[in-house]
Amino acid sequence: MTAAATRTGAARPAPPSRPPRRRRRRGEPWLDWMTLPALIVLAVVIAYPIVRTVIVSFYDYPLLMPSHEFIGARNYERLAADPVFWTSLRSTAVFTVASVVGGMLIGLALALVTERLRGPWQLLRGALLTPWAIPVIVVAFLFRFMFEERGGVVDAVLLRTHVTGSSVPWLTNGDWALASVIIANVWSQAPFFLLVFTAALAAVPGEVVEAARIDRAGTWTMITRIKLPFLRGAALVGALLMTIQNFNNFPLIWAMTEGGPAYSTTTLVVYVYRLAFTKYDLGYASAVGFVWLVLLLGIAVLFIRVLRGRTA
């Protein structure tokens, strides 16, 4: 190294640059207080009702009586021996699982079929999303009229095509009522899965699909080995959201069957409504509602742990 180079510093490496230190702006600690209104709203809207429900569940709490007696865990003991509660729990599980699985399969099939639509044909995908935009109460009355035992569209089609020889009591028979409600619910929420899977298919790397085509992968192999692995995360998120919605789906069931006949379509949310606002037994309704909340939280935690395990 020459003396001139040493004097000018041309051969000396430049010291590594340090990232600029973040300067704390004056008054920035007060930015934390900006979240206080949101926290207050969450506490009032979510935390207080939950705590109040837990407290009321330990009381004999007639809604129209001024006095309420503390009875401890007696409501929960009554719940364990209540056959209607177990019937409602079974109906909730069947309704939720069948609706989520049915909607997911139909939505996946529609997403795969409409994946390559281009130009004006994309309007078809928009038309398939229409049921998701229809209010639930409208869907309920639409299918209620369609499933009328005499004069309904479904019965008319089945009779004219000689599939059945007589009218089917869709909404007045316990064996058919739950299936009818599930069909209406699947029709309503399948477009949601269509939307989710369409977005997930658009995120599949193009080079992976192109490599599979070069290897002459068939349609079935392309779907099962290439595309489906990229859709599992979206399927888990969609299933979680629809599970929560179906657990809380009150207007569809109430407008179609009111939980009947003979509790065959009574889910937990319908049972809580009947206890609280028909029998005015708010203490027992709170106990059922708290168990319902714990079950829903457990399912949500399970979904989240599975999703985290896939992204880890």
Backbone angles phi, psi at 94, to 5 degrees: -65, -45
Confidence of residue 2 (pLDDT cuts 50, 70, 90): very low
Each residue of 236-284: pLDDT tens digit?
999 999 999 999 999 999 999 999 888 999 999 999 999 999 999 999 9
Amino acid at 161: T
> Mean pLDDT over residues 295-305, rounded?
90
**Would you say the C-alpha torsion 78, 83, 88, 93 has a positive or negative sign?**
positive
Question: SS3 helix, strand, coil % of the chain, rounded to 5?
Answer: 70, 0, 30
Give one DSSP letter per residue of 231-273, joined into a string.
HHHHHHHHHHHHHHHHHT--HHHHHHTTT-STTTT--HHHHHH
How far apart CA 40 and CA 28 sit, in angstroms, is 21
Beta bridge partners of 86: none
Each residue of 58-70: pLDDT tens digit?
999 998 887 888 9
pLDDT at 211 over 80: yes
- Tell me the CATH number of domain 60-311, given options 1.10.3720.10, 2.40.100.10, 1.10.1040.10, 2.40.30.10: 1.10.3720.10
**What pLDDT is recorded for position 20?**
53
- C-beta atoms surrounding 108 within 10 Å: 24
More confident of the two residues 8 and 189: 189
pLDDT at 228 over 50: yes
Each residue of 162-203: pLDDT tens digit?
888 888 889 988 889 999 999 999 999 999 999 999 999 988
Conformation bin of residue 24: beta by default, left when phi > 0, alpha when psi is -120 to 50: beta
Model-level pTM? 0.84
Domain ranges of the chain: 60-311
Each residue of 119-139: pLDDT tens digit?
777 788 888 889 988 999 999
* Burial (CB count within 10 angstroms: exposed 0-12, middle 13-18, buried 19+), residue 76: middle
